[in-house]
Amino acid sequence: MADFKLSATLRGHEDDVRSVAFPSHASVVSASRDFTVRVWAQQSSKPPVWDSTIKTHGKEFVNSLAIVPPSSEFPEGLIVSGGKDQIIDVRTPNKGLDDDADALLIGHGNNVCALDVSQDGKYIVSGSWDTEARLWQVGKWGDATLLPGHTASVWAVLAYDSNTIITGCADKQIRIYQISGTQVRSVQAPDVVRALCRLPPNHPSGAHFASAGNDAVIRLWTLGGKQVAELRGHENFIYSLGVLPNGGLVSAGEDRTVRIWENNTCVQTITHPAISVWTVAACAENGDIVTGASDKLIRIFTRDSERYASAVEIQQLNDDVKGSSIPQQTVGDINKDKLPGPEFLTQRSGTKEGQVQMVREVNGNISAYQWSTAANQWLNVGTVVDSAGSGGRKVSHNGKEYDYVFDVDIEDGKPPLKLAYNLNQNHYEAARKFIDDNELPVSYLDQVANFIIQNTQGATLGQSSAPGADPWGSESRYRPGDGNQVASRPAPPAASKIIPQKDYLPIASGNHKVIFKKLQEFNQALIDDGQKGISLNPSDVEQLSTTVNAVEKGNGKGVNLAGVDLLVKAATQWPAERRLPALDLLRLVLVFNEPTAYIVSPVQNFLTALLESGSFTEGSPPNNTMMAIRCLSNLLQTDKGRQLASTEFDKIHPLVSPFLTSPNRNLIIALTTLYINYAVLLTSENNADRALSLLDDLSKILTSATDSEAVYRALVATGTLLCLGPDFCEAGRDILQIGDAVKHAEQKVKEPRIKNVIAEIREKLQG
């Protein structure tokens, strides 16, 4: 069967297109963050030309959309839309922008993020962030029937047939109801469910419906709750599913792609020049598909050559994809030195449709290439780029007082969005709320969090998490390099001085359950590989579960010490590619006095095992090295740990210093955090000899690092060491030329907090 190609690009929306419907071959309906719902009508078929009419224009984002089919009561059908204003708008397509809606359905207490209509047009089902799903009778518009039992945001709803409703939830449950509101069954999904779709009768798989969500896997289910297939290919959240007339599936997600699935296999990948493809729908009449994305555009694709766009338009889309920028946080850590060059593209074929390969170009750029089975070649789909992104008195915003209210420019030419932030908040929680409130792509999370970090001038960030369910469900992803595990920031006291830093900085936040789940998966993989000599048996896993639960509760005295031994074993003896979760849990343990005193004792010999484990060698996975350095940094949180860190300084220092110029952001931040903690320790010990060796290292970091957080931490460590006195400052100035390194940092990173700490360092150097 022919590939889908571009048929038309529909321009008109002024913000992300969050939902689309394709009710007929000549009609498309769309909803957007620009507060509007539009109806698009085809003006001509050769070439395909479409025009739009705005049907609603509210005051909040519109996120969900559904179409009631024509009936005797509503011959033209109905457009149903919902969003952040919590009201479901129902209106006939022929109504003008100023006309009243046919009905306004009121009952939800938060963003209406999901809508669907039964095939017979008799009822509407809705889902919301308020943890509720509701059923509404078409034409009666009275009270809704509540579908009970949800404990988190209801991201997906499916009016399966005249008597059956299916919901997908952020609590990782798929629930099946009768229209009376009675729950028939609940199915445990592996992760947050964001999308559902009905499969045609007698589907070859035997399944009745499909689901997808945060784990990037499409699953096919029977109404009895049996999973019959898994479709793998997406590389990030899946937001939307649709079904083709031939029974094939289409899916859209955070990896910028729409994928076409036939016989449970991905047969085509359509990459968009956007951050996210939010929505996809198929036309039952002709099999064309329509997509909506974060670049504000709607695109129609077809397999019929009669409906192809012009060759110029198709080439323009290809060029836009090739020229698009891919934020590095969406692809994870990249070791440029280990990437193949462009010769790879002619020497190796892909192994599956949509496979992505990073390539280091001749000019040093990192490009992403995607394998096309149909074209039998690698296609360039973009260039990987680094992320981009008040004081004293409280600032009022929406009736509340905040330490900061930032203006965040998300798009040129549009008013900035307001980001309110208090110093006692965790910067990742504040970033998540900002993303939720403004319906931004999840991939902006790191970018917004880093914006907060960079603009609070070194103020302390708390480690507590906000209560309640994360509506994005993003806490289920295990990404050990994420900034939400970065240490508390070095902070000035009430006075304006930043240096010397006096407190040891912990790296103590993390999702314990998700990390432990990953450790269990790796343990099972060891068992499956026949490596029972180093794997954990069921009683070991139970002991470790007790340990992790105690650590999560912040109860150092309740930590099962036998479980700590098991963590050390897994972190130092397991194969390198499976050590990361154990190292991650180990660094969380090391902030507590009792377990740290236990594992640093000479009998346990923990530090030697860690230092000799290979995590500090050139061939070690960078995340292992990063996490092992976080362990060393947290070792300085307790008295016993500091004693060992001081005693073994001459073993630790030569093992970590080779990583001073690492391009891995999380590794270099972990290293500069370790150096801050050592700076605090060495100034308390008045140990100038060791401090000089650290100062030499810090000058190299300041000369090479470009990340603002790494530079800031290196400067705080430098300034703290300079507080050892005039003689030490003289050595730093004359022998190590620390002033030149500081000048390098000042030229690279121009932020108020950088400027402030540099001013204090220069004051010390000029003594």
| Range name among 49-58, 248-257, 332-341 with the lowest pLDDT average | 332-341
> Token pair of 626, please?
């990063």
On the 0-12 / 13-18 / 19+ scale of CB atoms within 10 A, 695 is buried
At 381 the three-state DSSP class reads strand
- Helices 639-647 and 665-685 sit at what angle, rounded to 10 degrees? 90
Q: Do domains 58-188 and 395-477 have the same CATH topology?
A: no
Report the pLDDT averaged over residues 728-733.
78
- Judge whether 576 and 620 are in contact, CB under 8 Å: yes
DSSP states along 314-335: HHHHHHHHHT-EEEGGGT----
Q: Which residues contact 561 (CB under 8 A, 6 or more apart)?
A: 595, 598
Dist CA 530 CA 230 (whole Å):
26
Q: Where are the alpha helices (DSSP H) in 142-257?
A: none
* Per-residue model confidence (pLDDT) at position 384: 78
Q: Which amino acid is at 618?
A: E
Output the DSSP codes for 273-319: SSS-EEEEEE-TTT--EEEEETTS-EEEEES-GGGPPPHHHHHHHHH
Chain mean pLDDT for the chain: 85
Q: Are 277 and 257 in contact (CB under 8 A)?
A: yes
Which residues have CB under 8 Å from 220's CB, separation 6+? 199, 203, 205, 207, 209, 210, 227, 228, 229, 230, 231, 264
Q: Alpha-carbon distance 425 to 65, whole Å?
A: 34
Other C-beta atoms closer than 10 Å to the C-beta of 404 total 20
Burial status of residue 620 (CB atoms within 10 A of its CB: 0-12, 13-18, 19 or more): middle
CB atoms near residue 614 (< 10 Å): 15
Identify the residue with better confidence: 327 or 497. 497
Q: Residue 389, CB half-sphere, CA atoms under 13 Å: how many?
A: 19
Burial 178-201 (b: 16+ CB within 10 A, else e): ebeeeeeebbebebbbbbbbbbee
Query: Is residue 459 scored above 50 in pLDDT?
Result: no
Range in 122-131, 184-193, 456-465, 662-671 with the lowest mean pLDDT: 456-465
The architecture in CATH of the region 395-477 reads Roll (3.10)
Q: Give 205: exposed, middle or buried? Use CB within 10 Å, 0-12, 13-18, 19+.
A: middle
pLDDT above 90 as % of the chain: 50
Which pairing describes strands 277-282 and 257-262: parallel, antiparallel, or unpaired? unpaired
The arithmetic mean of pLDDT across residues 465-491, rounded, is: 41
Cα distance between residue 576 and residue 591, in whole Å: 24
Determine the average pLDDT of the residues in 471-494.
44
- Whole-angstrom CA distances from 55 to 64, 289, 597 are 14, 22, 67
Per-residue pLDDT, 424 = 52
Residues 6+ positions from 639 with CB-CB distance below 8 Å: 593
pLDDT category of residue 401 using cuts at 50, 70 and 90: low
Calculate mean pLDDT across residues 431-450: 74
Is 507:633 a contact under the CB 8 Å cutoff? Answer: yes
Report residue 574: phi and psi, to 5°: -70, 160
Sketch the domain layout of the chain as residue ranges. 58-188, 326-385, 395-477, 544-659, 664-767
CA-to-CA distance for 222 and 207, rounded, in angstroms?
Answer: 5
| Residues 110/126, Cβ–Cβ less than 8 Å | no
Burial class of residue 390, CB neighbours in 10 A (0-12, 13-18, 19+): middle
Condensed to tens digits (0 to 9), the pLDDT of residues 582-612 reads: 999 999 999 998 889 988 887 777 888 899 9
pTM of the model: 0.56
Helix (H) or strand (E) holding 731: helix 726-734
Q: What is the C-alpha to C-alpha distance for residues 129 and 8, in angstroms, rounded to an integer? A: 34
HEC letters along 621-670: CHHHHHHHHHHHHHHCCCHHHHHHHHHCHHHHHHHHHHHCCCCCHHHHHH
Q: Which pLDDT belongs to residue 446?
A: 65
Sequence-ordered list of residues with C-beta below 8 angstroms from that of 757, at least 6 positions apart, any chain = 458, 498, 499, 712, 715, 716, 719
| Beta bridge partner(s), residue 371 | 378
* Whole-number pLDDT of residue 335: 76
Kindly state the average pLDDT of the residues 283-303: 95
Per-residue pLDDT at 481 exceeds 80:
no
Reported as a single tens digit per residue, the pLDDT across 113-163 is 999 999 999 999 999 998 999 999 999 987 899 999 999 899 999 999 999
Q: Of 499, 453, 553, 449, which is closest to residue 680 (Cα–Cα)?
A: 499
Single out the residue of 137, 138, 195 nearest to residue 166, CA to CA. 195
- 554: tokens are 């912040």
Strands 377-385 and 325-327 turn out to be parallel
Q: Which two tokens stand for residue 295?
A: 């670049």
Instruction: Give the strand pairing for 298-302 and 289-293.
Output: antiparallel
Give the mean pLDDT of 271-293.
95
Q: Which residue has the tokens 């050592």?
A: 678
Q: pLDDT (tens digit, 9 = 90+) per residue, 19-28?
A: 999 999 999 9
Candidate ranges 235-244, 314-323, 719-728, 751-760; pick with highest mean pLDDT = 235-244
pLDDT of 178: 96
CB 157 within 8 Å of CB 163? no
Average pLDDT over residues 161-180: 95
User: Rounded CA gap, 39 and 625, in Å?
Assistant: 54
Comparing CA positions, the residue from 692, 699, 697 lying closest to residue 674 is: 697
Query: 58-188, superfamily in CATH?
Result: YVTN repeat-like/Quinoprotein amine dehydrogenase (2.130.10.10)
- Which of 24-28, 74-78, 354-358, 385-389 has the least mean pLDDT? 385-389
Mean pLDDT of 99-116: 93
Is 690 within 8 Å of 680 (Cβ atoms)?
Answer: no
